[in-house]
Each structure stands twice: as structure tokens, then as C-alpha cells.
Amino acid sequence: MPSLTEKDAIGTTANNGNKSSSSIEYDSKGVVTTALEPSHLDNSHLHYVKRGQEVSDDAGFTDSIIGYRAEQMRARSLLTYEEEKKLLRRIDWHIMPLCAIAFLLKNIDSTNVSNARIMNTGSPRNILKQLGMSSNEFNFVSTIYYIPYIIAEAPSNLFIKRMLPSRWLSRIIVSWGVVMACHAAVKNKEGLYAARFFLGLAEAGLFPGVILQLCYWYRPDEMSRRLLYFYILGNFSTVISGVLAYAFDGVSGNGGLSGWQWLFLVEGLITIIFGVILYFLLPDFPPTARWLTEKEKAFIQARLPKNAPREAESNFNFREIIIQLKDFKMWLFTLCWATFTVGTSGLTFYQPTVVANLGFTSISKSQLLNIPTAFLTVGIIAIFGLWADTARLPRPLFPLFFLIIIMACYSVLYTFPNTGGVYAATIIASAFASSWYPMMWPWRVQTTSRATGSAFSIGFVNSYGQIGGALGPQIFRSQYAPHYTVSFAVAMALVGAAILFNLGTWWVTRRTERETRVLKLERIEAGRRGETVLEDVEIEEKRGLVKGGV
């Protein structure tokens, strides 16, 4: 589509808001074209059609819309604006609660080992004493988890379309639930290492699989609000995990099991039960959803941008993987993720221990002091997620602002002025670090393309970007305790690198990001007038190769 500017959008909206007969006239087929400022445009018009009717194949404007495909566009105006909003709410209720609970369980099960570390502290039933592990040896449980997790994520995503999301995601959840329950049987550090390795292998693919699933149902500019629901529930994992750790710390010794063994066993059983439920309830693709009418199925697919993955595409296309590997944007996003996760995941992994080292050694006090982080994270995601969803400001501004806040908090942690200041900085840094991801993913999926290409690129960025999970905890080794001055100095350098990579990625993707935002505003204004916009962001060249976004 034409390269739009914010001035273009404002001018168009203002023009259409005052519909005079001299400025806008529908033709005999119900189509209206509104002139935009011609500078930087390949096409000087946006095309609108009335809602509640099918777009005619012979409307006479198809040649003037870049990338227009009649079979995909025909149903774009079938529903009215209010009908569309009601339909999206129905889709939300069928998909988002299940995805959010899956993310919640994933967070609980992947990070509970940090809580297990401080359960029954000072007693023979502490996990370090029972398994004969030192603090630095325990650090390796996070590293060994992320090695298979990183390797298996992108390949896992390639199976989702062939196997169907409900089956494949259910398989992932049940598999890691079984492995989680098996943690209770380990007798030494080698057994724990093996359990964490297979947990990482089993969990690989859940998060990028959910993101890919959303791409079949929602536009990229609609992802913010959906990820808002997703992350709000998911970030209560620290509260729930803390409560469970406190509860099982008190029953340690019952049934011959220590508190940490009860923690792993019960969480594993809960995960298995939910995985079975997901198999029956999660909808796969719009064309196969029985609770949708044929008109609704057609409308959902028609409203997606051309580069979105679709159920009708082939299950696997190796050429799309090659195209993605040649795409500079994918590597930039991966570097954004990698530098960020290395710089922040160590703090997240060690927050319970850091709090304990500040003098709060009991499990009850330690877990209670972790709860404020969860509530602050939810507040940040809600406020900034809704703000970003308005499309009034460039999306990259939000993650960049978060990185600056984290950098400021790290400076406090590095200088260690006092216990209260460090505790406050830890909460704020952890909250903004957790909130960074829902700001980034809608930006990332704007630039993915097709079924196989989207599956691979989403899985690749999320997997190799998670290298921080393997390296981050190694920065916080016991020799740097209790203030971790060296650790936070290294983390500050990595967050600084993440800021630079975010700026570079913004420059490369600036056209796609701007047009996505501008067209969202146009769709909202058009919807209020009973119209819809036919143009979409064009991220591909006519030869079908993904362009660099400039």
C-alpha cells in the first residue's frame, strides 16, 4: 500500500469526518476513494467500502491497490462495525482464557525451581542439602533447562499447522506436566539436571505456538490488547508460585516427601489436567471453528493482512524459511531479545534469593516481598498496553522507555545505597522487564509473513532470544553476593546494548510500523462511519520476497 504519514491519516480522517458531497461520493458499487497528500505515495487514494455487503469483484479499483487479492478481500465488509466488535469478543472468550492459563502454568513450572531453592532453608529438607549441591552447581539448573528449550522452539512451531494447534499445544503441556511431576523423584544433582533438561525440551514451543495461533485470528494491530489479557494473568505466576512454595514449605515431611518435592508433584499434576482440557476446547483455525457461521469465517480471514498465515496454505514451505533467514529484520529482533534477556533474566531468576540475602530469610517473608512485583507488573502492562493499543504513539517508544527505566534501576542496584532502595529498585526493574515482552510482540508480528515463515521466524526469535535464560543466572554467581555489584554492572552494559538494537530495529522497520499504526486509526474512523478500508500494509515486494521494511 502507499507509504502513509501521520499527516496523511489526520487529513483523511478529517475529510471523511465532514462528509460533504463535494469531497466524498460513492460510486454505483458503493466504493469511495479519498485523496491523500501525494508526497511519498505510490497510490494517492485510500479505498473505502460500505459495511454489511460483499465487495464486488468488478468494483473497478482492484488495479490501484497494491497486493489486492479479490478472493481475500471480498468478505472484508460483510459485517458491520458493531457486529465485528461482538465477533472479536466471542473469539477472545474462546481463545484468550485458555492461552493465558497455559502461559501462567508455563511461568510457574519453569521458574518454580528458584522458589524450591529457598524452601526449608536451614533444614535437612532443603533441596541443596538433600541433593548435595552448592549454590553455583544449582545455577546450572537454569542453563540446562534453556539449552533444549532454545534448540527445539523453532522446529516445534513448524509442526503446529500440520498437527493442529489444539493437539500440538496439548501435547506440549501434558509432556511438561509429566516431566514436572517426575522432579519429585530425583535423588541427586544429576537427576535434577536431567529433569530440567527434559522440562526445557517438553516446554519448547508453547509460547511461540500461542503467538502463532493468535496470528491466524487477529491483525497485528490488535495483538496488544490480546497480549494484555495474556500477560496480566501470566504474571500472577509469581504470586501463585510464592503461595504454593509457602504452603508446601509447611507440609514438608508429610508422606515422606520434602516441601520442594510436593511443589513439583502437585504443579505437574495440575498441568497434565489442563493439557487434556485444552485438547478439547482450543479452536484451531477460523475455517474449522464450529461456533462460527460461514459468513463469520470468511470475514475473519478477509480482515487479516495479506502476509498473515492462513489455514488454506501448505503445511510446510522450505522456501519461506530461507527467505526469513535472509531477512535482516529477524536477526535484529533476535539481538533485541537476546541482549535484553541476558541482561534481565538473571535478576528475575534470582529475585527470591536476592530478597533473602537482604535479610528476609524466612520463606513467608521472602515470598510476601515478591508479591508487589507481580501487581506492579500487571499495572504497567495494563496502562501501557492500553496506551499502545490506541496507536497514537510509535510502538517502539514503549519498549525503549522500559529499557531506560531498567537501566536507571540497575544504577541503584549497582551503587547499593541502602536496603530499602535496593528492594524498591528490584521490584521496579523486574516489573518493567516482565512488561517489555507484550510491548515487543505486536511490533515483531507486523513483519512476519505466511504460515511457514511466520511459524519459523516467531519460534526463532523467541528461542534464540531466550539465551538470557541460560546465561543470565550465571552472571549472578555466589561469589558476587550479597550485593552482586559486578553482576549488575554487566547487566547494565547488556541493557544498554538492547537499547541500541531496539533503536536500530525501529529504523529498519519504521515504514511498516508507521503504516500499521496509521491504518489502524483509519479503520477505527471508517468503522464509525459504517465503512471499512481495503488497503493494507505491504511488507512484500511483487516478486514475493520479504523486504527490509525501509
Task: Report the percentage of the chain scoring pLDDT > 90.
Answer: 41
Burial tier of 167 (Cβ tally within 10 Å: 0-12, 13-18, 19+): middle
For the cut 90, the answer to whether the pLDDT of residue 206 exceeds it is yes
Q: What is the pLDDT of residue 448?
A: 87
Residue 329 pLDDT > 50: yes
Burial of 294 (0-12, 13-18, 19+ CB in 10 A): exposed
Does the structure show a pLDDT above 90 at 211? yes
Q: What is the pLDDT of residue 465?
A: 79
Q: What is the pLDDT of residues 503-532, one digit of tens each?
A: 999 999 999 999 888 889 988 889 889 998
Mean per-residue pLDDT for 347-372?
63
Sign of CA dihedral 212, 217, 219, 221: negative
Helix locations, 124-219, DSSP H: 127-131, 135-157, 160-163, 165-182, 189-203, 206-215
Predicted confidence (pLDDT) per residue in 446-482, tens digit: 888 888 889 999 999 988 877 877 787 778 777 777 7
- Per-residue pLDDT tens for 146-199? 889 889 999 999 999 999 999 999 999 999 999 999 999 999 999 999 999 999
pLDDT tens per residue, range 97-127: 999 999 999 988 877 887 888 788 778 888 9
Would you say residue 378 has pLDDT above 70?
yes
Q: How many CB atoms lie within 10 A of CB 262?
A: 22
- The residue among 255 and 368 whose pLDDT is bigger is 255
- Judging by beta carbons within 10 Å of its beta carbon (0-12, 13-18, 19+), is residue 12 exposed, middle or buried? buried
What residues have CB less than 8 Å from 104, skipping those under 6 apart? Answer: 233, 234, 236, 237, 240
112 vs 2, which has greater pLDDT?
Answer: 112
- pLDDT for res 63: 58
The torsion angle over the Cα atoms of residues 399, 401, 405 and 410, rounded to 10 degrees, is 60
pTM equals 0.84
DSSP 26: -
pLDDT in tens, 407-451: 999 998 888 877 778 778 888 998 899 899 999 999 999 888 888
Average pLDDT estimate for 318-341: 92
pLDDT band at 396 (very low <50, low <70, confident <90, very high): very high
The C-alpha atoms of residue 393 and residue 401 are separated, in whole angstroms, by 12
Residue 449: all three cell numbers together: 509473513
Cα 87 to Cα 290: distance, rounded to the nearest angstrom: 14
Across the chain, what does the average pLDDT equal? 82
Per-residue pLDDT at 69 exceeds 80:
no
C-alpha cell at 490: 554487566
Strand order in the sheet with 531-533: 31-35, 45-50, 531-533
C-beta of residue 118 within 8 angstroms of C-beta of residue 353 = yes
The pLDDT of residue 26 is: 43
- Rounded Cα distance between 281 and 296, Å, is 19
Q: Given the DSSP bridges, would you call strands 31-35 and 45-50 parallel, antiparallel or unpaired?
A: antiparallel
Whether pLDDT at 39 is above 70: no
Domains of the chain: 72-306 (1.20.1250.20), 313-532 (1.20.1250.20)
The DSSP code sequence of 345-380 is HHHHHHHHHHHHHTT--SHHHHHHHHHHHHHHHHHH
Q: Among 314-318, 327-331, 473-477, whose mean pLDDT is lowest? A: 473-477
- Percent of the residues in the chain that have a pLDDT greater than 70, as a whole number: 82
Note every long-range contact of 7-13, with CB atoms under 8 Å and residues 24 or more positions apart, other chains counting. 7/37, 8/36, 8/37, 8/41, 8/518, 9/518, 9/519, 9/521, 9/522, 11/36, 11/37, 12/36, 12/46, 12/522, 13/521, 13/522, 13/525
